[in-house]
Amino acid sequence: MIITNIPEKNRDLYHRVAQSISGYNKILLSYSGGLDSTVLLDILTTLRDHFNNLVSYPFSIRAIHIQHNISKYANDWAIHCFKQCNVRNVPLSVVHIKYPTTDNKKSNIECLARNIRYNILFNHLNSGEILLTAHHLDDQTESFFLALKRGSGPLGLSGIKQTILTNKNKCKLLRPLLDFSRKELKIYANNKKLTWIEDDSNFNTKFDRNFLRIKILPLLYNRWPHFNKVVTRSAKLCEDQENLLKELLSNTLKTVINSKDYYSLSFKPLFQYSALKRRAIIRLWLSMLDIKMPSYQLTNRIWNEVVLSKQDAQPSLQLSNCICRRFKEKLYILPINMKYSFKTTKLDWNKIHNTILLPTNLGLLLRYPLNITLHTQKKLPCLNSSIIKKLQPNILCNYIKNFNKILTVCTVRPPSAHEQVSILFGHTNNTIYIVNKRHGKYLKKIWQEFNIPPWLRSRIPLLFYNNTLISAIGVFITKHGRYYNTNNKKNNTLSWQISWVQDTSTYKIFKQSIKIQLE
Ligand SMILES: Nc1ncnc2c1ncn2[C@@H]1O[C@H](COP(=O)(O)OP(=O)(O)OP(=O)(O)O)[C@@H](O)[C@H]1O
């Protein structure tokens, strides 16, 4: 296509972005307010408002800014982003992040911030929308060097991808500026007199990426001006090789992972393969989960220390941002916070409150009296606004709106006037008699029978009335907690319906593991 009215110096940029977004009519721009995403914001709005002949059909743009609250200037940046979007007629969402204090180590913060950011960005995508980030060529070179420093193989060295697909092979993220250098973007920004923010932490060479950008790469660019383009070529070759491997192993991979549960892998069939092929399969699996590639050594440890550990051991190996565990001939990838257990936690649940907040990210329990028979209990009730309105503190209402996945619901008898209600985690030493089972058993045995992996056992809320276990929420109800419907309309006691509400990611992990109870 001949573009006549675009200034020549910007032609390539406009053309490339137009080409990338062609076919998408709803764009969500990940906007930090820095140079790169400001350039992308300006190009997108210029295309939308002035050069829409370059794109196949009209498109809308909205932007999202993640306020990490690490820098003292975080508020000013959000205001800057708001103003820049406002003048360009682009609606902006600002999402605040609070970091868990336990993970607040400096070296970790970059990685943690990135993981949280991508999680939020993908969760904010509306149907039919495509996410755009403004990564560029220099980011690619830096990533290549960082992968080299970690001792990564071809997958890690293949660097930042131009596009990221969903599990169903649909495109969900595009990086249209990946072929342009920071220098080229800066020229564009200066020509158009754009204003952007400089993150103060960008100058801190304690961070590996900054160290490379400030101290090392300028030397290389000075000697070999096209160095970053050459690095991209190597990255591309690594990517090709990796894709070929993926193609060759895709059928084998299907035999060890279930398309409904990518977070676990059956390792038994891997015994028949060479160590080389095993490693390749494990790495491919981790890459599907978007996990930063572990080193050669760490991949071997997954096999030697997790798969091959003693039958009764409970192995756990930390990878960069997750942990790898084993349970019943399967490997599991779990979020890092699954390391912590709540064994000593006891929460008193005052009967006048119908909600109770659980520790960390376990969500909350919600109780409401219900007059239903056991037979009509099959369908899980949704958390509708009438239930939300019944909750007293506003803060909990907000919590529920954001974390609105109900893991499971159980129906138990209400406590009597002299019974204290509490929630405990972990174990109890008493014999437990559960509904529909003849014999009493220890809790450990029951967890095993229900296939509850060890890491979930200390995270399932145990409902107690005084010292009596009533229910492991979502897993079982004890005989002491059984609700008897008298079916006598005059004398109808209300049951307690207890829902466990979780955020989306934790919900998925629990749901996979206790699906037997839910189905
Ligand atoms: N706070 C933020 N809010 C929204 N988008 C952001 C934010 N920070 C970065 N981005 C998006 O991510 C792109 C890459 O930014 P940057 O290179 O600083 O991130 P990074 O942490 O190194 O991430 P990556 O590992 O993906 O390269 C930016 O161009 C922008 O599109």
State in Å: Cα 31 to ligand 1 middle: 8
Q: In this structure, which amino acid lies at residue 349? A: W
> Residue 220 pLDDT more than 80?
yes
Ligand 1 atom closest to the CA of 66, numbered from 1: 3
pLDDT at 168 over 80: no
The atom number, within ligand 1, closest to the CA of 136 reads 29
Q: How confident is the model at residue 407 (pLDDT cuts 50, 70, 90)?
A: low
Here the tokens at position 514 are 């206790």
Whose Cα sits closest to atom 31 in ligand 1? 133
Distance from the alpha carbon of residue 106 to the mean position of ligand 1, in angstroms: 18
Taking only the tens place, the pLDDT of each residue in 193-216 is 999 999 888 889 988 999 999 999
> In which residue are the tokens 């961070």 written?
207
Please name the CATH architecture into which domain 257-339 falls: Up-down Bundle (1.20)
Domain positions in the chain are 8-230, 257-339, 346-518
HEC secondary structure over 210-258: HHHHHHHHHHHHHHCCCHHHHHHHHHHHHHHHHHHHHHHHHHHHHHHCE
Q: Under CATH, which architecture does the 346-518 domain have?
A: 3-Layer(bba) Sandwich (3.50)
151 is in an annotated binding site: no
DSSP state of 43: H
Cα 384 versus chain centre, distance? 25
Q: What is the CATH number of domain 8-230?
A: 3.40.50.620
CA–CA dist 83, 94 (Å, integer): 12
Burial 286-297 (b: 16+ CB within 10 A, else e): bbeeebbbbeee
Question: Is the predicted pLDDT of residue 140 greater than 70, yes or no?
Answer: yes
Query: What gap in Å lies between CA 510 and CA 355, rounded to an integer?
Result: 20
Q: Tokens for 225?
A: 């001006």
Q: Which of 275, 259, 350, 352 is nearest to 307 (CA)?
A: 275
pLDDT digits 0-9 by tens, 93-123: 999 887 655 444 555 666 777 778 888 898 8
Pocket test for ligand 1, best of 62, 135, 160 (most atoms within 8 A of CB): 135
Highest mean pLDDT: which range of 94-103, 235-244, 386-395, 398-407? 235-244
Best probe residue, ligand 1, of 125, 133, 320 (max atoms within 8 Å of C-beta): 133
CA–centroid distance, 380 to ligand 1, in Å, is 39
Give, using CA atoms, the residue closest to atom 23 of ligand 1: 114
Dist. CA 32 → ligand 1 center (Å): 7
Q: Give residue ranges with CB within 6 A of ligand 1.
A: 30-32, 36-37, 65-66, 68, 114, 117, 133-135, 139
Q: Which among 281-285, 446-450, 451-455 has the top mean pLDDT? A: 281-285
Per the structure block, which two tokens stand in for 92?
Answer: 């902006």
pLDDT in tens, 297-329: 888 999 999 999 988 888 889 987 788 999 888
- Distance from C-alpha of 405 to C-alpha of 399, rounded to nearest angstrom: 11
Determine the pLDDT at residue 457.
Answer: 85
Tens-place pLDDT, residues 472-511: 988 889 999 988 766 555 555 678 888 887 765 565 666 5
